[in-house]
A = this chain, B = another copy of it.
Amino acid sequence: MTYHPSWRGVTFHDVVPAGVLSARAFLEQCLERIAAREHIVQAFVAIDERGARAAADAASKRRAEGRALSPIDGMPVAIKDLIETANMPTQMGCRAYDGNWPKRDSAMVQALREAGAIILAKAVTTELGMSEPGPTTNPWNTARTPGGSSSGSAAAVAAGFVPVAIGTQVAGSIIRPAAYCGNWALKPTQGGVHRGERQGTSQSTAGPHANSAQDAWLVAREISRRVGGDPGTPGLLGPLSTPDPVRPVRLGVLRTECWPRIDGASQMAFIQYVKSLPAEVVFPEDDPALAALETAVADAMAIGTKITAFENRWAFRNLARDKLSRRMIARLDASAAWVQEDYIAAMELRAAMRAAQAALAPRYDALLALACPGPAPFWNPNAPNADDNPRPTGDPSCNAATSALGCPAVTVPVMAVAGMPVGVQVIGQPHQDAKAMGIARWMHGAAPHLVA
């Protein structure tokens, strides 16, 4: 299918709460789309149809009686298979976790259930959220990757299997697959959506993929309202309803370290698109402070990778090596000699990046960058681990900066290049997720979407 940015996909907020469909009828339509295309998309590792139907009936009854638990009562949601769910196994795309089923709900899953959401499916992740891909294909072109590590979450939303799927991001795993698949997505401020049992790394986040800003925001906010964010953080802040569109005065542009590797058509489309926005748009060459941030984040990918590899090392060492991919073993071995001083040095570089962003707060309402480096690349889904390509789900490096910065980023589906989605991300200051979402909504409606 050729993608066009006018595509709207499957949304919940304007359907079930509005009484257009009951929660059960909405679920059945999702299940029909799954039955028709899941054998091609391969977004899920587990589906709990029976539990979902029971939960949908309960939600339908509550809504009919005017007792909805929240705006997302009755919403079917898929959960990335890194995150624990009581009603389905959690196997993390890794043979070391085959059959793992701890029968626990992660914090966000518990909050979703309390809000009435339906935990329908577990979505394919790359191995432990790292490089080794699963079988999922891009719904817009099955010869291309949907991105990763939130491969199944991105594809499930794009295929209309669920209106919202939870993904996680360490380098670029929410923002990038959403951009490759034509979704909205919110990567919240570090810790904004409670990561539950997954607190082991200092720059990873959980956040929603959706077909609308509203569904993404409502899910994230209903979670933080109930369980807060990560321990020691305030959690996602902002209104309970979706922030209204906000017109910015000034926007800054970041090219990020991946720019030289992006195809010319996507580069030109991005520049043309941001120049078409009805606001002041500043490029790094025109503002030394913005250029200083661009310079500070120029090694964000390598620094974030080093920090995360050190943090993950002890947990990964507990796994049997013969159940890990070659790519994973290479990652593990690369960090074997690192000590506390190496980690502290990398964290100091990260702190410098954050200071460079903070310095821009008085001058810019938000920053803009490509959310993915052009259209999703082609890959061979039948040969995982067949080669040592370190990035079989695409290059995450245009997202490495926002991951290291710990700031909010919103993927907005506003461009098509070569018939595939290419998203633009709106980047806010930490804890200003609501403002970033408001500017993202403004952007989506402020200028014509671009087809290159």
A-side residues, CB < 8 A to B, are 86, 103-107, 110-111, 194, 196-197, 199-203, 224-228, 231-232, 234-235, 310-311, 313-315, 317-318, 339-340, 343-344, 347
Which B residue sits closest to A198, measured CB to CB? B199
Which residues of chain B have C-beta atoms less than 8 A from A111's C-beta? 314
Which residues of chain B have C-beta atoms less than 8 A from A227's C-beta? 313-314, 340
Bound together, the chains give a CA A310 to CA B231 distance in angstroms of 9
The one of B86, B103, B235, B314 that contacts A110, using a Cβ cutoff of 8 Å: B314
Query: B318 touching A105 by the CB < 8 A rule?
Result: yes
- With A103-B318, A110-B314, A234-B347 given, can you name 15 additional A-B contacts, CB distance below 8 Å? A104-B315, A106-B314, A107-B314, A107-B315, A194-B314, A196-B314, A197-B197, A225-B339, A225-B340, A227-B313, A228-B311, A228-B340, A231-B311, A234-B343, A235-B340
CB distance from A384 to the nearest CB of B (A): 26
Query: A340 touching B224 by the CB < 8 A rule?
Result: yes
The one of B106, B202, B340 that contacts A231, using a Cβ cutoff of 8 Å: B202
CB distance from A65 to the nearest CB of B (A): 23
A-B contact pairs, 24 of them (CB 8 A): A105-B314, A105-B317, A107-B314, A110-B317, A194-B314, A197-B197, A199-B200, A199-B231, A202-B232, A224-B340, A225-B339, A225-B340, A226-B339, A226-B340, A227-B340, A228-B340, A228-B344, A232-B347, A234-B340, A234-B344, A234-B347, A235-B340, A235-B343, A235-B344
Main SS class of interface, A: loop
Which residues of chain B have C-beta atoms less than 8 A from A202's C-beta? 231-232
Bound together, the chains give a CA A344 to CA B224 distance in angstroms of 11
Which residues of chain B have C-beta atoms less than 8 A from A201's C-beta? 231
Bound together, the chains give a CA A315 to CA B104 distance in angstroms of 8
CB distance from A155 to the nearest CB of B (A): 28
Bound together, the chains give a CA A287 to CA B444 distance in angstroms of 58
Bound together, the chains give a CA A310 to CA B110 distance in angstroms of 14
